[in-house]
Each structure stands twice: as C-alpha cells, then as structure tokens.
Chains A and B, each alone.
Chain A
Amino acid sequence: MGYPQYCVLERLKASALKYPDKVLYNDTAETVTFRQADELSDRIGSFLLSKGVTKRPVVVMTGRSVLTPVCFFGAVKAACFYAPLDHTVPTARMEQVLSVIDADVLIADKSTEGLLPKIGIKGTVYMLEDMLGQEPDQSLLENAWNGLSGDHPLYVIFTSGSSGKPKGVVTSHRALDCYISAVAKVLRLDGTDILGNQSPLDYIAAIRDIYLPLWTGCGTVILPKSSFAIPTELFKLLNSYAVTVLCWSVSGVELCAKLNAFAFGKPQYLRTVIFSGSVINSRYLRAWQDALPGVRFINQYGPTEATASCTYYEVPAPVEADTVLPIGRPYENYRIYLIRKDGTMAPEGELGEICVGGPGLALGYFGAPELTEKSFVPNPLDPSSGELIYRTGDLGSMGPDGLLYFHGRKDRQIKHMGHRIEPDEIESAAKAVEGVDSAYAMYDREKELLYLFYTGSASSKDIVLYFRANMPAFMVPRRLVQLEAMPKLPNGKIDANSLKQHFI
C-alpha cells in the first residue's frame, strides 16, 4: 500500500523494512525497534479506526517513554493528527489547552492515568495499554489514507499566545519533511548515530529526536528528565549509550556548563551539538568547545510556525566573550526575507522583520483563522506571486558576510528556557489573582529571570502559588516586585525602562 508523498508513514514503513531489528527509541528502561514501532502503531491506528476515529485531532497524554512517539504514529495511521499534551504542567493549564483543541479523543497511559479524574475531559479516553492489544486490521489501515495528501495535518503543538490563551500550531507532513530532510543533511546523520533527547516529547524541539531516525536510520535515547539535574549522571548516560548527536535547547546546553559538568568527565562519543531556542551565552558555548575539540557546534534559529528551525550556522572556531553568533543561512527549501515596516526589503546591515517562506511553514493556528491570517500573509515584496510568508515578529539583519543576524523582538515576546512567553499571558494570569490590580511582566536576559511588577494587596507568595497551580514552570515569575503605582510615560504607557531599575 502506498502513502502520499511526504507522509511520515512512508518513512516509517521504509525504515522498518530497512532496519527491522535496530533500536529506534530507547528510554533507558525500554526499547522499541523500527519494526516494533511500525507494528505497534498499526495496532493503535486499527484501534482508533475500529472506533470510527479518523481525520481529527487526538490528544496524546502519555509518559516520557518509547511508546509516546509510537502513539503519535498510531494516531497518524488512523489519518488523525496528534496533539501532545504536557502532563507535567498544572491541571488548570492542561484544561486550557484542552479547551482550545476541543478534541473528542484522548489517549492516556498507566503513568498519566492518575491525572484523568483531575482534568475535565469531555471526550472519550482510551488507555494506550488497551490499544496495544488490538489486532491490526490492514484493510482499515489501507483505506484510512485514501484521498489524502502530504498536506494533511500531522500534529498540533502549543505555544504561548498573546491573548492569554495558548495557541496551537498545526503542521503538515510536508512541512515536517521539508525541515527534517534539510536538518538531516546538515547534521550528516547515518545509521551509526545515536541522538540524545532532552526535550519533552510534547514540545516542538522533540520532532528532531522523533523523526530524524525515520529519515536516516539513526536511533534516539530518551534521557530521563532527572538526569539533567545531575550532570555527572547525564554524561555517564550519554557515554553508556554512545550518544553522538545532541539536538538540545540552548538552556540545556548552558546548564551543563553552568554546573561545571566538564570538570569530571565529558561525553566522549559526541560528534555534533545543534542548539536552538534562544541566544546562547558565548561563555557557556566556549566551555563546550574547550572540553570537546573536534565536535561540530551548530546554532539554529526558527519558530514553531516554520517547523522548528529555518536557519542554521555552524560555529567555525572557538567563540570569544564578545562573539555575536549569526543565525546563518536558510535551511534547504526555506526562504528568508527581511522586511521593513513599509513592506520593502531591508538593505544589507539594516533591520527588518524576519519573515519565512517555503513548504516548511505551518498550516496555521488551530481553530483561529483570524490569528492565522494575521501571521501568515502575502509576501509584500512580491504580492502578485501569491506566496504566503510567516511573520516571526523577530528582527534581523543581513551582514556583509551574507549571513543573517538576530536582533531581538519587534514586540515584548520573551524567550526563556527555550520557550516562547507572551508577557500578556503572564499579566492576565497575574490579574486573575485576588488582590492584584495591575501587572507588568519583564525579562532580565542577563540573569535569565522573569520579573512580575504588580500593584495591589496580594502577597508575592499568593501570586507564585497561583502560577504554580495554573501555569507551566517556565512561566512562573522568579522575582516579584510590589509597587505603589505603575510608572507611566506621558502617553499613558507603562514606563518599562524605569522598571528595569528593579533588576538585581
């Protein structure tokens, strides 16, 4: 049977034939081979199809295990698209995501079952363990994809939204293929490589660890979250699984250097480290470079809406404290435009908004056509071409070296611990706390601290407790400053510069 061009299932089938008994995922407790992943996902797909579940979102709330990506593939085999739900965030946050996705099917497993009574789920819940008992039904599976194309949605992944609600980025099989094919080439992966997964599996950064094996025959070790608090343990794991490539967030890379992990060992099999999510601190990158000469370090840039990353830059030499790393060049099949306010192209050295074009773009935001229309717009440089580009809201410039440079945000969006945060979302959460009259969120980039300035009678502890109960950990303000009144500019806007004086 054939899947349409770009469909990830074609890659899964082909790799299962080519490397049947090779380990695809290893979570340090269990493994699945390429063939097992294909067969187990047949069971999950058949289960869903037998219940009439097809061509709709399926929420997946399963643990950090080898079966989670298998579950994603299973949903895809039923021609559904998956919406991974982070079960480590407070239940109120999960409910917020669930209210946006409004799905009628949720898959849980033994490790997340206990959360089910605590979250309001209006749809049907299926247990992964039960689904795996389903006999595969090849005729159901073969028919599921009839008439569909590679533009079919693959997943919806959530990111912070400025309206105070998370927004779901819907990505197609074709867009994923565009990115994964390009990054596989840059990483020069082959069947001997082992990736060390850091990112939570529900998060955008995990798509590299999940899908690169299907394209290249490499394997992925899903590292236990706890090992990241214990650097000696982390490096021991990387060595015992002979991990060769890390596709990590900048915060994960910096963490090892901050904890001085190289003093007592190093990951000896590493060939390449590729990082993204925020601007890396040169000091920490240098610590990696000094400890691991001969390892390739690659900086990546890009939003979830362009399927993880759209540009890359291989760091050619040890960096100095004042080195400004370019974000480099577009990946294959991506187009980058720097567009000024007046809709014209920014000349070399001048700032423009970074806009992305090409088949790697997301389909749009889930259930939010207006928001989609605002961010995915006709290319003003060539309106007659009909090309849609994604406006990142990031500022960039083209250097004389022909490389792109990143210059921060057009708006107030914050990048913290690899996650995007809309300050509006923090502020509306704060205002939901009794006794908070006004709130303003800011980020001290140097110290990597999220600040919340507020007026009202609430104590800072009340506010933090509210955040801990309702928001993901990376959105909890680390410094709270109670003010008599918000400092205002003559135009009535909040005077952010004067608030910066409170940074310690």
Chain B
Amino acid sequence: MEELMEILQELRPDVDFESEKALITEGILDSFDIVSLVTAVMEHFDIEISPIELIPENFDSVESMFALISRLREE
C-alpha cells in the first residue's frame, strides 16, 4: 500500500488520496493520469492489467487499487 501511495503521490501531488474515494467517477484522475498510473503500477508490481480491469470500481480509491493489485499478483 505504501509503495502504491508513493506512485500516486508522485503522479498527482495535489490529490489527497487518503480521503478521495471517487477518483475516476468524479474525474479527479483523467485518462492521461490513468495511462501513467497503469504503466507505473504494471512496471513496479510486475503485473498485467487487462483493459477489462479498467473500471471505476478498481480505481476509485487507493484501497480498491490495492485490492486489484493484490488480486493480480496472486493470479
């Protein structure tokens, strides 16, 4: 979770990731943030994120992103 938080804070230091729970739904992260985020996360955690996983439920909060990463690492 800490590593993910670091990636996010480097990407968007202006966003309070601890309290925001609708990052995609409310458009806080835009499509270009998503591209950078997905690339960084895949590289850092050595996982593949399929386009099918690119849905708000998986990226709206740090917790949901962490859950996705954990699930993909186990697969």
User: What residues of chain A have their CB less than 8 Å away from a CB belonging to chain B?
Assistant: 225-226, 228-233, 251, 255, 258-261, 263-264, 417, 460-461, 464-465, 468-469, 473-474, 478
Contact = CB atoms under 8 A, between A and B. Distances in A.
A351 B72 CA distance: 50
B31 A255 contact: yes
A264 B50 CA distance: 9
Contact of B51 (A261, A460, A478): A261
A231 B14 contact: no
Contacts of B50: 260, 263-264
Interface of B: 11, 13-14, 24-25, 27, 29-36, 38-39, 50-52, 54-56, 59
11 contacts: A225-B27, A225-B31, A228-B31, A231-B54, A232-B54, A251-B32, A255-B35, A258-B39, A259-B51, A259-B54, A263-B51
Contacts of B31: 225, 228-229, 255
Given A229-B24, A263-B50, A464-B14, A258 B35 contact: yes
A69 B46 CA distance: 45
A465 B13 contact: yes
B38 A259 contact: yes
Contacts of B36: 478
B42 to A, nearest CB: 10
Contacts of B55: 230, 232-233
A228 B51 CA distance: 12
B30 A229 contact: yes
Contact of A461 (B13, B27, B34, B56): B13
Given A255-B32, A259-B34, A464-B14, A232 B51 contact: yes
A225 B52 CA distance: 18
Interface of A is mostly: helix
A259 B30 contact: no
Contacts of B59: 229
A465 B34 contact: no
A468 B30 CA distance: 13
B44 to A, nearest CB: 14
Nearest to B25: A226
Contacts of A263: 50-52
A478 to B, nearest CB: 8
A229 B14 contact: no
Contacts of A226: 24-25, 27
B29 A229 contact: yes
Contacts of B30: 225, 228-229, 473
Given A232-B52, A264-B50, 8 more contacts: A229-B29, A229-B30, A229-B31, A229-B54, A230-B56, A255-B35, A259-B54, A263-B51
B53 to A, nearest CB: 9
Contacts of B39: 258
Contact of B24 (A230, A231, A417): A230
A289 to B, nearest CB: 18
Contacts of A469: 14
Nearest to A251: B32
A157 to B, nearest CB: 21
Contacts of A261: 51
A259 B35 contact: yes
Nearest to B52: A264
Nearest to B24: A229
A264 B14 contact: no
Nearest to B58: A230
Contacts of A231: 51, 54
Contacts of B25: 226
Contacts of A473: 30, 32
A464 B33 CA distance: 15
A116 B11 CA distance: 30
B13 A229 contact: no
A102 to B, nearest CB: 30
A468 B51 CA distance: 28
Contacts of A255: 31-32, 35
Contacts of B38: 259
Nearest to B37: A229
A228 B24 CA distance: 11
Contact of B14 (A251, A259, A417, A468): A468
Nearest to A467: B14
Nearest to B26: A226
A233 B32 CA distance: 16
A464 B51 contact: no
Q: Top 10 closest A-B pairs, CB basis?
A: A228-B31, A468-B14, A229-B31, A229-B34, A464-B13, A461-B13, A231-B51, A261-B51, A258-B35, A260-B51
